[in-house]
C-alpha cells in the first residue's frame, strides 16, 4: 500500500502531484443562497418549491445512497452495466497521458470501472474529482489510493462551476476525460443544462472528451416507479427535507400531514417530485419567524429530473459546440452513456 499523507497536501497553486498521493484544493464556494433564505423564499411564494440541492444533507445523502441500490431505481444499475461493457472503448478514446475529471464524484463507486479501464492503458493516470463534500472527497481519495498505487489524485472541493473554472485555470499536459455521470444533468432545466455543457465544452481542447450519463425518456409507469419506489425510500428522502427544516430552522412540520408524489410530465420530459399537504394547515418556522399556510392537496415542488431522447442528447451537444462521438445504452435501453467531442 502506498503511503497516504495525512492531512492531504493543500496546494492552492495547483503544483505537481506525486503518484500515490493526493492533494485537496479547497475553492471558495460561490454566492450560495443559504438554506434559511431558500426556505423563506420557496415556501412563501404562490407556487411553493424548494431547491433540490437541499435534499442532500447527511441523512439525505444516506437515503440517496440507498435509492441507488433499489430494484425500482434502475438508473444506477443501468449506467453501471454500460460502463462495465464499454469502459475500455471509452479509455481508448483518450490519449495518454490522461486525467479523469469527475463532476460531482460522490463516493466514486462507478468511477472505479473507468479508472481501471484507463489504468490498463496508462499506469500514470491522474484523477481529479470535483465535489462539494470534503468528507466524500477525502474518503474516496484515500480508498482509491489504497487500491491503485500509481494513481495521482487532485481533489477539488467546489461546486461544478467553480470546479470547472479551476480546471480551466490549472495547466495540464494531459488529455482530459470529463465524466458527468448518474444523470445529474437531469436536475437542471434544459436551458441550464445547455449553458453548463457549453461551459464544459469551452474548457475542452480538441482531444478532450466529455462522458455524459443521461437517463432516457420512457413510459411514465417505469419512471414514476423509479421515483416512488415500493420500499418508500424515495418518499423518506423527500420528506427528510421537511425534517431538515424542523431540525435546522425550528420548523413545526408534521410529516404525517404530507405525502410524497412523483409525476412524469411527458411533454417537457421530466419527473417532478412533490410533497403534498394532506390537509389545510399552518406550519410555523421559528427561526424564520413566519407561518406557512397550505391548502389541502397543495404541493411543494422539491426536485425535477429531466429525461433525454437520443435526439435531445444530439441537440444538447450541438448547441454546446460538441458532437456525439459515441453513444451506448444498457440492454433494456433505459439509460444512455454518451461520449462528446469538440465539434
> Would you tell me which residues interact with ligand AVJ (CB under 6 A)?
67, 75, 182-184, 186-187, 227, 234, 303, 305
Kindly give the residue spans of alpha helices, DSSP state H, lying in 6-133: 35-43, 58-67, 75-92, 111-121
Residue 59 CA from chain centroid, whole number: 17
CB of 131 to ligand AVJ, least distance (A): 13
* CA-wise closest residue to 60 among 238, 324, 184: 238
Cell match 460531482: residue? 104
3 state DSSP class of 130: strand
> Which residue's CB atom is positioned nearest to ligand AVJ?
305
CB of 303 to ligand AVJ, least distance (A): 5
Q: Nearer Cβ to ligand AVJ, position 187 or 240?
A: 187
Q: Nearer Cβ to ligand AVJ, position 126 or 307?
A: 307
Gyration radius of the chain's alpha carbons: 21
CB of 233 to ligand AVJ, least distance (A): 9
Q: Nearer Cβ to ligand AVJ, position 20 or 129?
A: 129
Q: Nearer Cβ to ligand AVJ, position 67 or 117?
A: 67
* CA-wise closest residue to 238 among 115, 55, 87: 55
Sheet containing strand 175-180, edge to edge, reads 22-26, 152-157, 126-131, 98-103, 175-180, 209-215, 335-342, 322-329
Cell match 454566492: residue? 31
CB of 274 to ligand AVJ, least distance (A): 12
CB of 79 to ligand AVJ, least distance (A): 10
Cell match 499536459: residue? 173
Note whether 189 and 301 are within 8 A (CB). no
Q: Nearer Cβ to ligand AVJ, position 184 or 281?
A: 184
Amino acid at each position: 500500500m502506498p503511503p497516504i499523507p495525512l492531512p492531504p497536501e493543500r496546494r492552492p497553486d495547483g503544483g505537481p502531484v506525486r503518484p500515490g498521493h493526493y492533494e485537496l484544493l479547497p475553492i471558495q464556494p460561490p454566492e450560495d443562497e443559504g438554506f434559511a433564505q431558500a426556505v423563506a423564499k420557496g415556501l412563501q411564494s404562490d407556487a411553493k418549491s424548494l431547491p433540490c440541492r437541499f435534499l442532500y444533507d447527511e441523512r439525505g445523502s444516506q437515503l440517496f445512497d440507498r435509492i441507488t441500490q433499489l430494484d425500482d431505481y434502475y438508473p444506477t444499475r443501468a449506467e453501471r452495466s454500460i460502463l462495465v461493457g464499454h469502459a475500455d472503448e471509452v479509455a481508448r478514446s483518450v490519449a495518454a497521458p490522461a486525467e479523469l475529471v469527475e463532476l460531482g464524484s460522490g463516493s466514486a463507486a462507478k468511477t472505479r470501472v473507468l479508472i481501471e479501464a484507463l489504468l490498463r492503458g496508462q499506469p500514470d493516470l491522474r484523477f481529479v474529482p470535483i465535489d462539494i463534500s470534503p468528507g466524500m472527497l477525502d474518503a474516496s481519495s484515500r480508498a482509491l489510493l489504497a487500491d491503485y498505487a500509481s494513481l495521482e489524485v487532485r481533489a477539488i472541493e467546489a461546486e461544478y462551476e467553480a470546479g470547472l473554472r479551476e480546471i480551466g485555470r490549472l495547466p495540464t499536459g494531459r488529455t482530459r476525460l470529463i465524466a458527468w455521470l448518474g444523470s445529474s444533468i437531469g436536475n437542471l432545466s434544459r436551458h441550464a443544462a445547455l449553458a453548463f455543457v457549453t461551459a464544459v465544452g469551452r474548457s475542452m481542447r480538441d482531444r478532450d472528451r466529455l462522458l455524459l450519463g443521461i437517463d432516457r425518456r420512457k413510459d411514465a409507469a417505469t419512471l414514476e416507479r423509479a421515483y416512488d419506489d415500493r420500499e418508500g425510500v424515495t418518499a423518506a428522502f423527500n420528506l427528510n427535507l421537511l425534517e431538515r427544516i424542523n431540525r435546522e430552522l425550528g420548523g413545526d412540520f408534521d410529516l404525517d400531514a404530507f405525502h410524497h408524489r412523483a409525476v412524469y410530465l411527458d411533454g417537457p420530459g421530466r419527473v417532478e417530485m412533490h410533497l403534498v399537504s394532506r390537509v389545510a394547515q399552518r406550519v410555523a418556522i421559528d427561526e424564520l419567524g413566519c407561518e406557512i399556510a397550505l391548502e389541502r392537496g397543495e404541493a411543494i415542488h422539491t426536485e425535477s429530473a429531466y429525461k433525454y431522447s437520443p435526439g435531445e442528447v444530439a441537440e444538447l451537444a450541438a448547441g454546446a459546440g460538441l458532437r456525439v462521438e459515441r453513444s451506448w445504452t444498457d440492454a433494456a435501453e433505459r439509460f444512455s452513456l454518451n461520449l462528446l467531442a469538440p465539434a
